[in-house]
Amino acid sequence: MLVISFAALVSTGFSSPELSLHHKICDQSVNKESCLAMISEVTGRQCSTKRLNMADHRNLLKSFLEKTTPRIQKAFETANDVSRRINNLRDRRALLDCAELMDLSKERVVDSISILFHQNLTTRSHEDLHVWLSGVLTNHVTCLDGLEEGSSDYNETLMESHLNELISRARTSLAIFVTLFPAKSNVIEPVTGDFPTWVTAGDRRLLQTLGKDIEPDIVVAKDGSGDYETLKEAVAAIPDKSKKRVIVLVRRGIYEENVEFGKKKKNVMLVGEGMDYTIITGSLNVVDGSTTFNSATVAAVGDGFIAQDMCFQNTAGPEKHQAVALRIGADETVINRCRIDAYQDTLYPHNYRQFYRDCTITGTVDFIFGNAAVVFQNCKLIPRKPMKAQKNMVTAQGRTDPNQNTGTSIQNCEIFPSADLEPVEDTFRSYLGRPWKEYSRTVVMESYISDVIDPAGWYEWDGDFALTTLFYGEYRNRGPGSGTSERVKWPGYHVITSPDVAEQFTVAELIQGGSWENQLRLGFSLYWEAPKKVSTSHRDLRFDI
């Protein structure tokens, strides 16, 4: 078999459909040169010019991902090995975070290969691939961010070559995907039921039921009346990789513990007895030696995670800087009727598909941050009084590549100050968000915005960083802080007037609600409908914090 390398094609100026395909793919990449080199590594060694054609897209992406897997494994091993030789606690934790993130990435890549190997791409599998490949890139970037938080350049240098290559490969896999597997339709799937197809009729009833009326598999109670007295003990007892919903009922009480639902703890439903009565609280923070990633009071990475009727809290306080209350890296997550309280970096929707309904979220700096495809609906987003000279940022979205299908959508929510911020809101400015990463994407639509939000609306991260590449939008908002005449004039800021553009940030579009979310929707709406009575003052909506 005659094999012509990509380098030979370039050097001879040879024009072919294969070469055109290379460039078509890499035109979609942030780093075209790196993309071309990586694709040629697969096609040059494995495919003749006859075989390298547009008809074999699945094999091209599959082969590329197969070559990526051992590289992720090598990064995992390096992070684990180096962590054993590090004395500094935060640096060691950052490396262990990297090991966890590499492990999660490898599993997602293997899942993606399985889809490409075993089946033609259905609408569902197409959506899964895109969100998983987007999440893999987020994992790699998060690892690098965590190392940069640490005190040792040595650790960062040891991992840097691995991470730079993995980030480039993740970008290239996304470029291959969006070029060779374009979305089949832009039509929003009709919403015909109350729950998604993967939720049983029993689960549907649970999502509309108060915790006290639920028949659980496991009961946690501080007074000893349940199966366990701590949530951590209950998590250990949950069967791994459960195919059915596992219900954990947490009785009212304050539980001081840090808990993670690992990747094997799938299809867990965590239910409390009300957001004011069942409280999981912790105080890990960056100042005292945690990484942002591992400061979370509760973290979940097992797919199909649901939390309902409870409070997640980090009490570290504003002077401790980053201190996460809830971190979610589980695909197809629903957080319903929950309260999430902290200060800086309260809620970390890290990656994959997430939906928050009827929640109350409080914080100060970047208090909703991450790179999930996430929709907040009917939620109360409450800036608190920050430290002196700080500014409040409701969001800090972390999209790092234009091919990631991630972003933050805030729909039919209420944004207003806490009781301690309201009297001094002119002293501490509050904004809808700032661009954490270069392709940051956030839309606020059909929401009530009080005058706690500065007329400029949005704030820069660092000078002109990301101002041309971000996408920030507002659509049909209301309230004294919703006016757009004095908003920022950045190239990436948009006052959305077209319903077609706004639709891209609804549940059905941003998190594929038409296929996984539409039947679990808990009454969620694809389009906001004005309530019969709307509060005209945020004072009617005030929460005491």
Q: Please list the active-site residues.
A: 366
H or E, element range at 375 = strand 373-377
**Alpha carbon distance 178, 130 (integer Å):** 8
Edge-to-edge strand list for the sheet holding 218-220 = 218-220, 246-250, 268-271, 306-308, 333-336, 353-357, 373-377, 407-411, 441-445, 471-475, 493-495
18, 265, 386 from 279: Cα distances, Å:
58, 21, 23
Query: Any idea what DSSP says for residue 187?
Result: P
128, 176, 438 from 179: Cα distances, Å:
16, 5, 21
**Alpha carbon distance 237, 66 (integer Å):** 34
H or E, element range at 67 = helix 57-83
Exposure b/e, 236-259, CB count within 10 A at least 16 = b: eebeeebeebbbbbbbbbebeebb
Query: Any idea what DSSP says for residue 190?
Result: P
CB atoms inside a 10 Å sphere around CB 423? 10
CB atoms inside a 10 Å sphere around CB 323? 29
Q: Tokens 């005292």, residue?
A: 288
Helix (H, G, I), strand (E, B) or coil at 10: helix
CA nearest 384: which of 420, 424, 340?
420
Encoded tokens for 201: 């009729």
- Which stretches does DSSP call E strand in 148-197? none
**Alpha carbon distance 199, 178 (integer Å):** 29
* Alpha helices (H) in 247-397, listed in sequence order: none
Q: Tokens 């501490």, residue?
A: 428
* Alpha helices (H) in 181-270, listed in sequence order: 201-206, 231-237
Say how far residue 341 (Cα) sits from the centre of its chain.
18
